[in-house]
Chains A and B, each alone.
Chain A
Amino acid sequence: MATEADSTSSSDDIDWRSESSSVEMSRRDRLEEFYRHSIYEPAVVAWSDRRTRVGMVILSVYLLMALVEVLGLWRNPSPSQAERLLPPFQNWAYPLGTTQSGVDLLALIIDSTPFILLMVLAGGVWATGIAVLVGTVSGYKGGAVDTVITSVSDFFMAIPGLPLVIILAITFSPENPIFLGMILTINYWAGLGRSIRSQVLSIREASYVEAARTMGTGTSRIILKDVMPNIMPYVMVNFVLAARYTIFASVGLYFIGVLPYTGQNWGVTLNNAYNQGGLFTMQALHWLLVPIVAIVGLAFGLILVSQGMDRIFNPRVRTRLTGESESVDEESENETTSTWA
């Protein structure tokens, strides 16, 4: 009984009785270990990067807006709730100003935040999930499996995204954000899967993978333990890119008025501003700019976070990004490269 206490005590003596019991970690130790390794340390690394910090702050602003909407802490948008075309930062009851028909712009933006976030998440997860599955399996397996998967994804790659989405949108009228996110990235996975496949092809030839194969390790285990960690940074960055694509595509399609909508969202607001005279007067400029800032801000936050993600997975990037060579081999590398012009 006393062994547990002994082994955790700060005394440096080796307690011979504790050998048998302290080898097995208690569940709490394991959880702590996991937390430290998989959550705390990466978080510290990520947080140490200024870009990730800014990105995280930006994203939490959006989450906060979604929360405000879900809890109903801000008024809902409706016409004539304020005077028309109120400029931003004039009246603090309507901080972002109002539209031509007197709708509170901030309410408009907040109103559709949960929808947009859900859609973006769905699009990103869907696209990268399928791409990783397809890319790793076909790249690692090769042979007939590879041929079939490649042919299918080639077919999907041959279809330009937006036109297909437009036609599917007419067909299904997707109004559920998750479904819409999946439709928007309906063929995004194909190209991503292809590049993951080519990366897996080169990883497959690496000596340590070959060693694992020789030892008779199972395919799924090799893919999980040897291949995945290598493509993970790439996958994370592409998750963000897929999310970005989802935002851009959805807003673009709402903007040109081919997606069905109930109520307004950022793209629809942009469309209204554009079509109801926002282009012709400087007075309406904020009406165009507010949805633009909302879209760009979200994409910006995502990209910044993805840049920081890069560091979590790739310690070497750390010295690279700061532009200061901290490690020795970086130093020599810089010397060799800076001598020729």
Chain B
Amino acid sequence: MNYYLRRTLRIPLTVLAVATLTFGLIRLLPGGPFTQLRIQLIRQGVPVEQVNARIEALQNIRPDAPLWQQYLDYLVGVAQLNLGQSISLNQPVMEVLARAIPWTIFLVVTSTVLMFVIGVLIGAVQAYWEGSAFDQMASGGSIFLMAVPYYIFAVVFLFFLAFQFNLFPTGNAVDRGVEASLSVEYFASVLHHAALPILSFTIGGIGSTALNMRGNGIQVLGEEYVEVARLRGLSDSRIATRYVAKNAILPMYTGLLLLIGFRLGGTVVLEQIFSYPGLGYYLIAAVNANDYPLMMGCFLVITVTLVVAVYVADLTYGLIDPRISAGDSDGY
């Protein structure tokens, strides 16, 4: 229980640390945090004496206040879910991000689950028929898949399936004119638009998952406890699931936590290629438009999403693996 409590308390701390980091990064950005803004505002025709007030409205930070004051203001703003005002879109940053979050989570979760399931299945079959023709082929295929980054798949799919054969849309999350509702039409449109991004993001990860599973599977199959289980006369299905599958998949579960982080970061490139309106897309849009409030807001939200994801995975991991709490003070 102690461990879960500690783990839960760590979330606000991590978020605080990340918010501090974003605050620091805002100040690191070239030309100082406000020079860019100043130039932009003056270009937009804002009177010079009003510029400071405008910056405060945009960034939640008074440019003339002392540093600690600015820092506190920023933290209070974050705690109130107020991330300032986007310059390029002229909307509150939080509003923009609230629209974007579901798309990103949808992409990452769907593709990661698919990748994991398919990879584990392929790897399990390989481990079982070790040395067979299928095993050799799948191993070769997996190594090749590992060598190709997901965005290359994305570009190739886009080139052939979207631009050459017009089978799939080339951007956006839904068709224009389709209203968000619980209708079949809406879901069909969402799936149609998400198919290629999810496909490329899934394929990109299958190779390493399958190879991992194969290695673990072979190792577990050679373990003595499997043989003992057989000698005890347990049923094959029970051995396959409770003894072999469980012990082969378990180590991969921690790897999955790390993968979520990498994949969440990876959406930046993926969403850009497919013009998919998720967090990554807005992050790049903000970078290109010098829209610092939006950029930092994206960064903060992506990070918080990851913190929550890892937290959930951590808690479940503690439940699954009894070895975790034994022999280790810290809980994983």
Which residues does A use to contact B, with CB under 8 Å? Answer: 51, 142-143, 146-147, 150, 154-155, 157-164, 166-168, 170-171, 173, 191, 194-195, 198, 201, 205, 244-245, 247-248, 251-253, 255-258, 270, 274, 278-280, 282, 285, 288, 292, 295-297, 299-300, 303-304, 307, 320, 322-324, 333-334, 336-337, 339-341
Select B147's contact among A162, A245, A299, A324, beta carbons within 8 Å: A299
B34 to A: closest C-beta gap in Å = 15
Contact B147 A150 (CB under 8 A): no
Taking the complex as formed, is B95 at the interface, i.e. its CB lies under 8 A from any CB of chain A?
A: no
Indicate which residue in A147, A257, A292 contacts B152 across the interface (CB closer than 8 Å).
Answer: A292
Instruction: Assess whether A205 is in contact with B287, with CB atoms less than 8 Å apart.
Output: no
Rounded to whole angstroms, the CA-CA distance of A285 and B263 in the bound complex is 28
**Which of B18, B29, B151, B283 has most chain A Cβ within 10 Å?**
B151
Partner pick for B146 among A299, A322, A323, CB 8 A cutoff: A299
Chain A residue at smallest Cβ distance from B229: A340
Asked if B269 is at the interface (CB within 8 A of a chain A CB), the reply is yes
Q: Are A333 and B221 in contact (CB under 8 A)?
A: yes
| Whole-angstrom CA separation of A323 from B239 in the bound complex | 23
Q: Are A160 and B306 in contact (CB under 8 A)?
A: yes
Majority secondary structure of chain A interface residues (helix, strand, loop or mixed): helix
Decide: B269 and A252 in contact? CB cutoff 8 A. Answer: yes
Q: In the assembly, what is the distance between CA of A280 and CA of B165, in Å?
A: 11
Verify B227–A336 contact, CB threshold 8 A. yes
Q: Which residue of A lies closest to B158 (CB)?
A: A279
Q: How far is the CA of A296 from the CA of B153 in the complex (A)?
A: 11
C-alpha spacing A163/B266, complex, angstroms: 9
Interface size class of B (residues with CB under 8 A): 35 or more
What residues of A have a CB within 8 angstroms of the CB of B332 in the complex?
A: 198
8 A Cβ contacts from B33-65 to A: none
- Distance in angstroms between the alpha carbons of A146 and B332 in the assembled complex: 12
With both beta carbons as reference points, the residue of chain A lying nearest to B240 in the complex is identified as A340
Stretch of B76-84, B113-121, B174-182, B296-304 at the chain-chain interface: B296-304
Q: Which of A168, A173, A244, A252 has the most CB of B within 10 A?
A: A252
Chain B residues numbered 117-156 whose CB sits less than 8 Å from any CB in chain A = 128, 130-132, 135-136, 143-144, 146-149, 151-152, 155-156
Say yes or no: is B17 at the interface (Cβ < 8 Å to chain A): yes
Interface check B262, CB cutoff 8 A:
yes
